[in-house]
Amino acid sequence: MPYRVTFVCTGNICRSPIAEWVLRHHVEEEGLEVEVDSSGTGPWHAGDGADDRTVEALRRAGYRSAHIARQFEAGWFDSYDLIVALDRGHLRDLRAMAPDEKARAKIRLLREFDPAAGGADLDVPDPYYGEHADFDHVLALVEAAVPGLLDEIRRT
């Protein structure tokens, strides 16, 4: 059975699709048996594609992307080994939704996996109201965390 990871942001059109496709790229390159997807804490963009700036940032960096936004559902906790929140608000929402301590233990912040983040703010900022550079910044934060995330996956 493959290891299952999901990324969660607000509307599932910016941050979590970037994280999804960056991790997908790396697990495919390494031949790891990992399924990766993403979702949002809210329904605002369910059924929509990723923000065009998300797609552009991914493509400029050499990543693929294909995405339909969806909302995370409480019944999904048993389906995942790791649930990765993109900021503390998502972390709080997911923990409140978790049915038990076992489910809550699966939830982590993405930047916890970036050793350079240290005690800094571990939130990945929302680029939605920003410019292309803000999406590139999100991509850089994701890429910085992926090696640590891969180490975590390999340990399981």
Listed residue (104, 103, 124) closest to 113, CA to CA: 124
For helices 15-30 and 132-155, the axis angle rounded to 10 degrees is 40
Read off the pTM: 0.97
Over residues 85-121, the pLDDT tens digits come to: 999 999 999 999 999 999 999 999 999 999 999 777 8
Return the SS3 of 26.
helix
Q: What is the mean pLDDT of residues 118-130?
A: 92
Could you say which DSSP state residue 1 is in?
-
The arithmetic mean of pLDDT across residues 11-20, rounded, is 98
Domain that holds residue 97: 3-155
Residue at token pair 């929140």: 85
- What span, in angstroms and rounded, lies between the C-alpha atoms of 35 and 76? 14
Number of domains in the chain: 1
Residues designated as active site: 9, 15, 126
Residue 108 burial (10 A CB sphere; 0-12, 13-18, 19+): middle
Cα-Cα-Cα-Cα torsion 146, 148, 151, 153, nearest 10 degrees, comes to -60
**CATH number (domain holding residue 123):** 3.40.50.2300
User: What does pLDDT average to over the chain?
Assistant: 97
Q: Give me the sign of the Cα torsion angle 72, 78, 88, 30.
A: negative
d(CA 13, CA 104): 24
